[in-house]
Structure 1
Amino acid sequence: MTAPDDGSSGDEQTGVSIRCQDTPSVGVKFCDRFSFDGDSVHYAVEVWAPGLTARVDEVVAWVWDSDLVSFLEELAADYRGWDGERSWRTNDRDLAVSAVFRSGGHVGLTWTLRPWPKGSGGWSASVTTWVEAGEQMSTLAADIRHFLALSQG
């Protein structure tokens, strides 16, 4: 289940939260968006689960890159399912998403944070959120599209 944060907590920033429909204590949040120029958007991604909280502060979405929105839209378009795993990652490899389809029309999205992927002593953290294929996936793609929109900078 996705929920665009409306900033009503007094915070000027908006974000998108995704909670696992099977286990609501597991989730992901896209937040703290900013842009230096018209070529990229920078944002933070947080993941949480019982006993785990992790955050990457500066994920970068480039306008020329294969973007997360297209990946999510393709998953939504294939709401009847697919075999195997599909995956996407940022150009810097600090955020990766893999997707599997489960009978009953549900998509498991595994969100992996891996800051400094080329540095020694780095870390990674992953959580899996389950959402309904089709409408919830379409809503998620639209929410992420709105969050990453360059015109908001």
Structure 2
Amino acid sequence: MAPRSTGPEPFGVDRFTPVFVISVAAELADMHPQTLRQYDRLGLVSPSRQRGKQRRYSRYDVELLREVQRLSKDGVSLEGIRRILELENQVAALRARVGELMEELDDVRAARAVEHARVFAAGVAGEVVTLARGQRPRARSQAVVLWRPRG
């Protein structure tokens, strides 16, 4: 199950902060604590560890436990569930990377547009005069137009 943004978090605690001990997480997920230990051993839902190796579950972990339970009730094996969760995590990571690459591409396109921008002015006789970047037209009556090629 991929992490999703859900807006502002209550009490300033995000859904990934490990706060629940195993008994509370088991109750929230409607499972037995031993089931949570088994899922941890299998790598399905791996909570954070506190001092003394005590497990701490986040709200996200509890959501994941519920998803595992739902898939299990639908007849998916634990190995199948592990693979599904692994693939969902890969998809989430790839989507995040695509977003990063799109932002980089937008930045490159914006920089290129500025690089290739050309400034023209209309001369006194109506001719087109090319100006260097930062150069102002000689006569005040000349109109300046910024041209950016497409692409």
Q: TM-score range by the shorter chain?
A: under 0.3
**Which one has a bigger Cα radius of gyration?**
2
Structure number having the greater strand percentage: 1
Higher relative contact order (CA 8 A, sep 6+): 1
Greater helix proportion: 2
- With the length of structure 1 as denominator, give the TM-score of the two structures: 0.24
TM-score by length of 2: 0.24
